[in-house]
A and B are shown apart, each in its own frame.
Chain A
Amino acid sequence: MPGLQYRLPLRSWAWGVVAVALAASCEDTVRPQLVLTLDRPSAISFAQVGIYDEEGVRTGVNTYGLILQKAQGTVAVSWHDGDILPEPILLDTDRFTPGTNPIPVGSLPADIATDPSSCYVATANAGTCDLSLIEVSSVVDRSLRPSVRRIDLVDASGVAIPARPTAMASAPIDGPGETEFECPADPQSWLLYIAYPDCNAVAAVDAATGQAVAAVQFADDGTLTITDGTLACAGTGACGSFVAGAEQNAPRPSVVEMRVEQAGEDTSRRLYIGFDNRSAITAVDLDSEYRPEASNFTVSLEGDIGITALAVSDQLTLAGGNEFRFAYAIATDGTVRVADVNAIKAECETQGDSRYLHDETDQAFLPCMTRVDPRTPPRRAGARSPGIHIPGNALAMDVAFAHIGGSVGDLSPTTLIGDFAYIPISTGQILVVNVYDRNYAAARGFVELDSDDYYPEITLSLPHQIRDNGVDRNRLWGFNAPKPEENPDPREDQACNSPDPNTTAETLYGPRGVLLEEPPPSGNAASDNVASDKEYLLPHLRSVWCKADGDAIDPVATPDDFLPVSELSIGADTSTRKQAFPDWPSVLDEDTWTIEWEGAVVTGRIGAASFVGGFAIEDGSEPFCGIGVELHDVLVFLGCNPALGSADCALGESCFVDPEAAEPTGLCLPDDRVDQLANECRGILTTRRRFSVKEVFSDRLVLQERRRVLRTTPLEGCTGDAQCDTLYAVERALAEPEPEPSNFKPTWLCEPDPSRAGDVPRCVMTCTTDNDCETDLGFACSGGYCVEGAVPPPQCLPSLRRYAVRSSDAFVVTSQRTGYTHNRIVATDGSKQCLDDPDGHPLSIGRIPLTAVPCTGDGIEDIEPNPCLVTVEDAEKGRDCRKPLEERQAQAIRFRNSALTLHLVDPVVRTAASQECDVKVKVNQDGNDEDVSIAGIPIVYPEYVQKFVVQGGPRPMREAMLATGGFGERRQMAFPVGITFGPDGRLWVLDQGDRLTVIAGQVVLINGQVIRFSPDNLRESAFYLQ
């Protein structure tokens, strides 16, 4: 501290220490706290003011962004001139107050608009039911405080409007003139269209006076009347006090959009209105003074929805010279609805299953397929509406269109030429939608002109599809693939298998299934059921030929030039690939599929055993219809894990494991009765605890005992008890080629099994005591049959139990991203019974049985019956005796869902072309060895699984907008709520979300930001303001 003038009673060296310490503290730098300005920006309007030279000739343009901050009740101002200041900065509108200050305008301003001359900016204030007018010149001249006038909103009679405005629209700004123009001191007449949902009206208000000069008034029946500005809700009362009674049934206009377009000598002006309680968009023509005319039309939208945001494109001339104008409406069902508001004046179907469009060539039809047109394909499975579906659980927040000019170039996701929609979504990204990709249209068109063409990505490029972020989609493999020099052997290169792992992230090629392990999987289940040399007989995904050599013709003649690959593989021929993935938009990328015999449809849920009116399991959350449980499914009581102690059990219970239990799990028994119940409940403690579902209700499953059945029972049924003995020997021989003699001699009956579907006779094991059953495998004797679990006494299942439900006699198909798909619903008669949905989509299935009705067609559009039985060509090498290679005619079950089609070949053991090549096993019956053919026998076992991952599915172009700012950091958006196309040719995104981030080395909490980017370069052009 300088200036010490007097001596203090301390030693001099101590004063030196103090002086040094003080000097050091004085040199400490205090980093100034970063001050952020924006606080939850919600809307933006623009003003453009010319820069003129001394002769009054324009030399440049200043662009001002007026950023509305609703919660704060202010307008922040950005400025850039595109030249000296190419990127915007925020202006301080009050130099007398520290910080970068916005302009206070009023309470809860709902929307903002600029007059065409850019002289005034208006906000409609929902908190005070009035207008605020900002004089732009007072903002430009920063020596002054901005001038803001408050103007009361009144109807034609001068009566106040006590309803809250929600949205506002105005004619677009004209841009600065070539010569200097001086704004008038007072605002000139300028019409603002203000939406009043509570009034069921849109008022045309003269901003200069605040008086409504016209109104579009909606009645209960939805009809509209153009009034002189008289509003039914006008009257006394505080702002927001108007309570609409019966009028609430009338349409409530909540969003408005004005389009003004010059076409030659003509100028069209139209106001578009969306409603928060009506599934429609209404268009009202405006005259040259922007007053509403009687001419209007309404486009109905499907379902019971409201609209939260609306944008209308320019009139577009698409392929074939067909003209369209599209309205995109953000709907309350989470989808973006598309309608043509030009000639068709109807909603467009964007979720048509594109498998039906491969032969469609009408360019006038494809951009807007309407439900009344018979050519419009059925909606794809899982679609909730005809609108654009946002991936995941995100919601669309707003939408804006942009036109990008330029010469056509290489096809790539980032080559954006044409018309596109940009949709900010709640997960902090911008979704890009193709409205009309001119680049693709020039390169390919939107139709497959030749049936041999392989352009399946067309479906991704059609209008109103989310833009795909992948390249090389139609790359052909196999014969068209280059042979690496370092590995000239075509059988070894990657041409027929998974793509080169060195490809870039965007190089996705087409959808394909990559088997995760060669079927069948190894493991205990396999070795216990089927010997390794017989594994190839198990059901498997069909194989086709991949032509590794471009000149190869015949796989049998020149086997070295071919490789068998899965029909889902990228190396399959184009026809097979089209069949395998017929509707690319339905494919989910990086999705793992599992096909498991008698797999689980749910596991780990908790329910209570019930013994009232029969043995059942009850789950109070009523999940069983939603899970997709069907009759004869298998209910498994999972038991407790002894390794967890009693953690799996309820209070006062312990996990008890019977030493002779077949399963490695125990049952939770009350602590005070463990010994007693260990005896009484031995049946359930030592068995598999599996029961068959006899009746299915949403809240309970009525159960019955599930009998031990030979899995080798023919699908058409057994013929007699003696056959069952042979089939049992076959079952043992499948696992052990030469099984050890066994003292266990089961007794079989060939008869229908009520615990399984159908009434074909099956080989069921009978008994007198438990010793007659395979107790080591968890079977017990009950009612003369060996069962997987006997119904226990009630005291054995006193409390809640963990359970699983598995399918019976079918493969369960599940995907990691979509789970198990089914068409089960609950009856509406109050019975709570689970039924098949009669209107269920035929592709919404998740089971593959071992037999089915015959397929009726092989076309890409033949989706029923599903699943179905078919004979296919299955390519394999060296399976059958004597032939090193063959393409078999094999029996298969065809399974289709929305994403893919596959064939499960050999549901039962194949029948060879010649009897001598039939597969046989050696069985020992009555001391005699015998070779028994197993052709036509099902040998699949529980836990047998096929797995593959689907890669190369569509990757929605959704940019996280890693924007850069003045400090060079890149950061994401948190919650983008609005997007607007600015007069500078850029898109402006309003991000309201709070987020902790680092700016200039400081961790700060962003309270909102505005991001400006070029529509043709989302990633690299973004710039933020905060």
Chain B
Amino acid sequence: MVSTRQDFCIVGRAWRLAVPVSVPLLAFLAAGCPASADEVEPPRDQLVFPTGIAVSPDESVLFVANANSELAHSGGSVLVVDLQEVDDLIASGNGACAFDPLVPGLRQCDESAVIRADAGVRIGNFATEIGVQELESGDLRLLIPVRGDPSLTWVDYPAQSETGAQLSCGESAEVFPQCGENHQLVHLRNDVELQSLIREPFGIYVTSDDQAAVVTHLSLANITLVDLPRVVGGGERAPPPPVLTDSKAGLFEPDSSTGIRSAVGIAGRPSGDATAKELMYVTSRSEARVQILYVDRGNAGPAVVPAGSFRLTGVPPADDARGIAFNDDGSRVYIVNRDPPIVHVYNTELGQTGLPKNRPVTFTEVCRDASNVRVVDVGRGDRVYVACFSGGQIWVLSPEVSPDPQAIIDVDRGPHALAVALGRKRLYVANVLDDTISVVDLTPGAETENRVVVRLGIAKNQEGGE
């Protein structure tokens, strides 16, 4: 079982340890107890350790990456949740929903009622996040770091098509297809002679111009640059595939006690200046420093360029940073740190020199084992939503208004990924350990503001026994 204090590293290691065990075991099973492919295939309409979620730009669907962390199935999956169906459930409910006997007023619904069963695809195990690239045509391309492979798996979604759009990993007409090697980025420049994707790909950020993505790696503190063609040409239906084009190693120093060096979270600073290079900030769980990067598109091709850094010295040791997010205008960055559990708020406005000030503004206590963070302004100023993995909560903060949480939202076990649909005033929380998604109402002034209005999926403790 995954430790509640770790974000799948132990699982990852367990998986690698499990291989020499599982291979003969699987062989035995295959010899004596053959299971059909359908039986081991991940379910096409259920959540199985949902680790990554992302809302489509038009807020019509929510993409969910299932990690299959227990290896109960042959692999993970990416599913499509219809957000209008979700809102309809909230409004009226239907036979798919019932009230949680343990939490008064909380409606929980079978997730299959809102998942488009024929729209998903199968991928490898231990997916982490989902990056969404908007193509010039309006279609979408999803990029999913998959630790189990390791690969960056990419999947297309024809958002502009009629209702019933499906994720696709190529030309196959198969329903719920397995994304093959042609949709897994494994080598730099797709050249087998060149470096493979460093293990433990974890975080991903798609640049605001949708032309590149940067992936962080939990091991070796690496980052990988992905070039993302946007434009369809020459009668093709989709742009050329993305390409891993650059890799930078050792961005951070190793932890003095464990020797691990790690890059974790990444976010881009909105600048409002289309001519300026977008600066990206990367956090580490081995060093109390934030590294700044940008993407250069020179004659030699796209490259990621280190561009300075600043230390997190305000609340030491601060060497276990996780999620990071900017507010809409890029004037503030919020960095979740676990040691001690603090949200660091930095002023990233441009100073007189034209550089971001990168000066601390405030520090706010947060829950233990916090992971991801999102900044939302629904008309009440910036609100910071922090996922508290071990506590099963979402803390809502306004650090510059008050050091106290504005609200503490109880969700299910293992909240990790967060996604926001601003137009719908919804926050979606993927609860990894309970295979559920909590939907939180963000409507300012509503009675249900900052409360879970529906749970998609049945929490494991109600399934009788896990």
Contact = CB atoms under 8 A, between A and B. Distances in A.
A832 B447 CA distance: 49
Interface residues of A, number: 64
Contacts of A252: 401
A622 B450 CA distance: 40
Interface stretch (B27-35, B47-55, B67-75, B362-370): B362-370
B355 A626 contact: yes
Contacts of B377: none
A798 B353 contact: no
Given A308-B362, A799-B303, A623 B355 contact: yes
B353 A626 contact: yes
A622 B271 CA distance: 13
B213 to A, nearest CB: 17
Given A620-B294, A625-B353, A254 B446 contact: no
A491 interface: no
B404 A126 contact: yes
Interface in B282-316: 292, 294-296, 298-300, 303, 305-308, 311, 313-316
A393 B360 CA distance: 7
B355 A622 contact: yes
Contact of A977 (B353, B365, B406, B408): B365
A110 B404 contact: yes
Interface string A960-986: 000000000000001101000000000
Contacts of A608: 296, 298
A241 B300 contact: no
A722 interface: no
Contact of B305 (A197, A620, A670): A620
A428 B313 CA distance: 11
Contact of A651 (B246, B340, B407): B246
B442 interface: no
A826 B354 contact: yes
A394 B401 contact: no
Interface stretch (A290-298, A680-688, A733-741, A987-995): A987-995
B446 A108 contact: no
B342 interface: yes
Contacts of B245: 651
Contacts of B151: none
B439 to A, nearest CB: 18
Interface string A638-653: 0000000000001111
A393 B314 contact: yes
A237 B445 contact: yes
Interface residues of B, number: 61
Contacts of B353: 625-626, 698, 824-826
B340 A800 contact: no
Q: Count chain A CB atoms within 10 A of each CB in B195, B246, B305 and give the residue with the most.
A: B305
Contact of A254 (B295, B355, B402): B402
A393 B316 CA distance: 10
Contacts of A799: 298-300, 303
A623 B340 contact: no
Contacts of A427: 313-316
Interface in A249-293: 252, 254, 276
A824 B277 CA distance: 21
Interface string B330-348: 0000000001111000000
B362 A392 contact: no
Interface in A651-699: 651-653, 670, 698-699
A334 B360 contact: yes
Contacts of B407: 108, 127, 240
B189 interface: yes
Given A393-B313, A395-B360, A832-B354, A977 B340 contact: no
Contact of A243 (B298, B406, B444): B444
Contact of A276 (B305, B359, B401): B401
Given A651-B247, A977-B365, A241 B449 contact: yes
Given A240-B406, A619-B307, A650-B300, A995 B360 contact: no
B193 to A, nearest CB: 11
Interface in A214-254: 237-238, 240-243, 252, 254
Contacts of A650: 246, 300, 303
B342 to A, nearest CB: 6
A332 B361 contact: yes
Interface string B404-421: 111110000000000000
A108 B404 CA distance: 8
B359 A993 contact: no
Interface string B435-457: 00000000011110110000000
B163 interface: no
B114 interface: no
A166 interface: yes
Nearest to A110: B404
B279 interface: yes
B274 interface: no
22 contacts: A40-B365, A126-B404, A166-B404, A237-B447, A238-B447, A241-B445, A276-B400, A276-B401, A276-B402, A393-B313, A394-B313, A395-B314, A428-B316, A622-B354, A622-B355, A623-B308, A651-B245, A798-B298, A800-B298, A800-B300, A800-B303, A995-B340
Q: 8 tightest A-B contacts by CB?
A: A620-B277, A621-B307, A626-B353, A799-B300, A826-B354, A626-B355, A993-B340, A825-B352
Given A241-B445, A826-B353, 4 more contacts: A393-B313, A651-B245, A794-B299, A992-B365
